[in-house]
Structure 1
């Protein structure tokens, strides 16, 4: 999109700025090049044309919805402009700045809520501009240039800083989070990535860093997401409230308090400005690059703005980017749009050498990468409803090479371990299957699919009851693999008991192919699953082929028609990791139920 032609005097004020990291241009309608009388154009464009009436009578009035962290700085610039009677096209410029959470504005615009009560938007990240687009039916948003920036880092209380080796020890994102998760002395918190650009950019950075490490990256990131979800704050305004006071404070030992939080440099700056001594935070800047909050300027519903309003909005953008405004922003802990900061900002925020606070910013994640991260987060932390269906055929008694345990024994241990990854709100049930298991049926329900936190009939919780049921699983002597009838019956039951607002799925573990000659055929099963699959009630099948005799192609064929997937593990001990990865993948594929 072409940049709108600014008046020469305004453009000159901004000519010294380095280009921002993610350069955007304002899409302004051609009505702004309306012909004006040649004798007055230059004066009007320079903002020098005056009128006899007072400013209040001739002012052009705008409202800006700004991210709460930058709203005070933007308000200070607006107030100074009003006091100095700064003009746009001869009209005094009056801008009212209101603090609005960026995610709330983005969601409102994406829904197409009519008649926004603001003409300008200043979110903390351009990822909200992408969200505001929605399906293209929302309120038009014309993006402009960034006016400031702030890197995302890890803030720690001093006791945690010492534990992690600050400032001399440096880490990548993946190393830093893994070290924190392994520590009994450091509890990590974050703002909800679905509501916080800081949280989402940090989680995307952790994922990218983990990918560079190789190995089972998806599972590591999902585990990190689970940990963060347990100590998650609703938004940026609340995450600092979760911090424990240092060792001298009364809250230091409170298990509900965090010692480290994912935070922007500017938020740490503001916190430290209001704190003293051990209440101040230290910042770790990961050595593989810190993403930037980049505060893009945008016009809202621009086709409905008058020429005077559009030009006044652009005038205010140039004011926010001039030298005086950069000083105002720096005084409140913001960097320039290209990520440059003075040492006083960094030191006040908690940065110190050799932490790489002046390294080049990390390349911004693509919208697709952010969407994938958000999908992973949503499904990893969303309450799940899973029915687990375990093969109890005689072949599950086969010993696993090098372990001295049967496939069933290792499978049970892996399932019990996987159970620890789920919250009390998750619902999990258990079926087993083998031919001749229950009369003419190849399957039997052992535990209903219920909340893990629900009380059990004989005391304890459903989680404890389910763990005991996993431990009691045994191979059925001479039992064969009755896979097809079991899959169909379990899928029909999962649809019938579907719970909206949860991630519903059917997890099937088998070490062989279907061996029941009386059952439905493979083609018949797939056709029936295709008929039953309901986009309004998505229940993906996650089918795991266990051991070398299992047929991955077979389980994949029946799983994929439901939006799920087929997996194979050579060692049943890998089941825990595969279940977590499969759930994440299904969530990224859009199978999570709508709230």
Structure 2
């Protein structure tokens, strides 16, 4: 009996250890996650506290945006502000102001008008790189870093509803030759394209490029100087309606107010897709929307660049904030917001609805845009063709400091002479004692460029340097001669190319006393840092001209195109 009890005692079982180990392991994992979550929450709260503390205080990043996308840019800015951005220990707030690109460019390069434009911006979103190019041509230091496109918009023809189906096969390259609606099988009379000044209206500038381009482009300086290109520009200018609205928005408004085709005084006008979308859906939308027609063939496209600005008004925090906001604008969430505002972006095919008059057609071919210099040359060539062309007198500095720069100045002048379609042109030079005691010499009197082209080429080729730089005396004489030869109804201007201050002759006050006002603009292309920019700016402001500052002579050709493409 005792043995039997002993055997039963040996087979008694204890509690298994592995379930206990599993329970302990699970508990430890749970505690670990709790500790990590607590630590993460502490760190997150600490980082938020540090961010909200912003030891260097608050900083406002001011962004000026072209009106067609200003609202969408403001929406992106609000999304960025929600991330509580901190740059260089500054809490960053974004302020977006809607402003026409031409006004922003003028303000940045002359005197900024806070009453009209708000405070001076730290970044700029115009509708095209054309504007960044012009800003760089006028003063390269004002472009803080390379522009970056945040979206695109093809250029269309805005047409009344009845006309749109008729234009379905129209091509940009037909613009110079089509002058009557009979080309499209209708009896609506004259066919004309309202082309608001391409120097201030991007859609016009790109439409002219498309009319001049062979195939997908680009238009080059060489092709622009060809007889074929001059003939096209002459035809385009001849077909311009008698009264062209100053801006694309004005042209859309007039076209939209017209009940029938051609009632506006013109048939159609170029417009970016997003501008047409805003026109048709804005608070002043027409009762009958205008219809956007995408001409067949390569399409010109506006690229809406984000341009960080430079200059003494932009501090280091604003520089960094402008760059950070530029990157934020190209993120998918921001791109979706911009797409909702009517831009085309790569990350989504979403389109805003409703969109009366805009069908968002697929763009299968893109026009390759002209380079920066040629773009300016196209605008100046158009200015030389439109309404008889300009009356231009160039006063060139030939002082010894210009010696290493003179060849490129001569190339720029020769190119302008060769590309001018019509208008008048003259050439003077200045230094010291060039013509007896006179510090200046008239090389070719201002007259029709078609008649004086050969003489102008010879005069440009013959430029050589001499001592001295009596700018004010030379300008007084040149200005007086240009004023005596003033041609009413045309843009008259004197363009001075110089790299040094005046070193003798009459003083600045005496020169200013001889200027007659804003009917004859004096514009300067100043090369390098030795010029007296303050004095040149005074003269330009008195006469309604401008001052373009280029760091080196490579920018002269672009700057000359910029000056000659403007209406002032």
TM interval, short-chain normalised: 0.5 to 0.7
- Deviations along 1:460-496, whole A, 9 cap, x unmatched? xxxxxxxxxxxxxxxxxxxxxxxxxxxxxxxxxxxxx
Verify: 1:195 aligned to 2:200, yes or no.
yes
Deviation at 1:132, TM superposition (A): 0.8
User: Is the counterpart of residue 160 in structure 1 residue 172 in structure 2?
Assistant: no
Q: Is the 8 A contact 2:55 2:89 kept in 1?
A: no
* CA–CA separation in structure 2 for the residues paired with 1:65 and 1:277: 27
Residue number in structure 2 paired with 1:242: 254
Q: Which residue of 2 aligns with 1:66?
A: 65
**SS in structure 2 of the partner of residue 130 of structure 1:** helix
1:202-221 equivalences under 5 Å are: 202-209=207-214, 216-221=228-233
- Distance between the aligned counterparts of 2:323 and 2:390, measured in 1? 50
Q: Secondary structure of the residue that 2:446 maps to in structure 1? A: coil
Larger Rg: 2
| Worse-superposed segment, 205-214 or 252-261 | 205-214
- Give the 5 Å matches for 1:177-196: 178-179=177-178, 184=189, 186-196=191-201
Asked whether 1:149 is paired with 2:152, we answer yes
Closer, same or farther: CA 277–105 of 1 in aligned 2, 3 Å: closer
Match of residue 370 from structure 1: 375
Is residue 288 from structure 1 mapped to residue 293 from structure 2 by the alignment? no
Which of 355, 361, 382 is the equivalent residue of 1:348? 355
The SS at the match of 1:228 is coil
| C-alpha distance in 2 between matches for 1:51 and 1:343 | 38
Contact 1:192 1:235 in 2 (8 A): yes
CA distance in 1, matches of 2:89, 2:341: 31
What is the CA-CA distance between 1:181 and the residue it aligns to?
5.1
Aligned to 2:270: 262
Alignment match, 1:330: 339
Judging changes above 3 Å, is the alpha-carbon distance between structure 1 residues 106 and 257 closer, same or farther for their aligned structure 2 residues? same
CA distance in 2, matches of 1:147, 1:593: 27
Instruction: List per-residue Cα deviations over 1:183-236 (Å, max 9, x = no partner).
Output: 526442233101111211111111114999998442123221343363422223
Mean Cα deviation higher: 371-380 or 300-309: 300-309
Shift in Å at residue 350 of structure 1? 4.1
- The answer to whether the aligner puts 1:318 opposite 2:327 as a matched pair is yes
Query: 2 CA distance for matches of 1:368 and 1:108?
Result: 22
CA distance in structure 2 between the aligned counterparts of 1:317 and 1:333, rounded to whole angstroms: 19
Q: How is 1:478-493 mapped onto 2 (pairs within 5 angstroms)?
A: none
- Report the alpha carbon displacement of residue 311 of structure 1 after superposing the two structures with TM: 2.1
What CA distance in whole angstroms lies between the structure 2 residues aligned with 1:163 and 1:82? 48
What secondary structure, in the 3-state scheme, does the structure 2 residue paired with 1:533 have? strand
Question: What residue ranges of structure 2 are gaps of 5+ in the alignment?
Answer: 1-42, 183-188, 392-421, 427-439, 462-559
Task: Report the Cα distance in structure 1 between the residues aligned to 2:90 and 2:133, rounded to whole angstroms.
Answer: 33
Are 1:79 and 2:78 counterparts? yes
Q: CA deviation at 1:376?
A: 1.6
Q: Give the Å deviation of 1:264.
A: 0.3
* Bigger RCO (CA 8 Å, 6+ sep): 2
Number of the residue aligned with 1:227: 239
Structure 1 residue aligned with 2:279, among 271, 284, 294? 271
What stretches of structure 1 move > 6 A for 4+ residues in a row? 54-57, 112-116, 210-215, 275-278, 587-594
Q: Kindly tell me: are residues 205 and 294 of structure 1, through their superposed partners in 2, closer, same or farther at Cα, counting changes over 3 Å?
A: same
1:49/1:234 CA distance change after superposition, 3 Å: same
Q: Which residue does the alignment assign to 1:126?
A: 129
- The Cα of 1:265 is off from its aligned counterpart by 0.7
User: Do 2:237 and 2:385's aligned partners in 1 also have CA atoms closer than 8 Å?
Assistant: yes
Question: In 2 relative to 1, CA 180–335 (structure 1 residues): closer, same or farther, beyond 3 Å?
Answer: farther
Q: CA deviation at 1:287?
A: 3.0
Relative to 1, partners in 2 of residues 1:280 and 1:220: Cα closer, same or farther, differing over 3 Å? Answer: same
Task: Give the 3 Å change call, closer, same or farther, for CA 258–332 of structure 1 in structure 2.
Answer: farther
**Which of 428, 433, 443 is equivalent to 1:533?**
443
CA contact (8 A) 1:180 1:188 kept: no
Deviates more, 1:211-220 or 1:155-164: 211-220
Task: Assess, with a 3 A threshold, how the Cα gap between structure 1 residues 594 and 138 changes in structure 2: closer, same or farther.
Answer: farther
**Alignment correspondent of 1:408:** none
CA separation in 1, counterparts of 2:133 and 2:253? Answer: 29
Q: Deviations over 1:397-454 (max 9, x none)?
A: xxxxxxxxxxxxxxxxxxxxxxxxxxxxxxxxxxxxxxxxxxxxxxxxxxxxxxxxxx
Output the aligned Cα RMSD.
Answer: 4.4
Structure 1 spans left out of the alignment, 5+ residues: 1-42, 387-501, 507-529, 544-554, 565-586
Is the CA contact 1:157–1:278 (under 8 Å) kept in the aligned structure 2? Answer: no
TM-score w.r.t. length of structure 1: 0.52
SS where residue 63 of structure 2 aligns?
strand
For 2:286 and 2:69, how far apart are their aligned partners in 1?
26
1:563–1:63 distance in 2 versus 1, CA, 3 Å: same
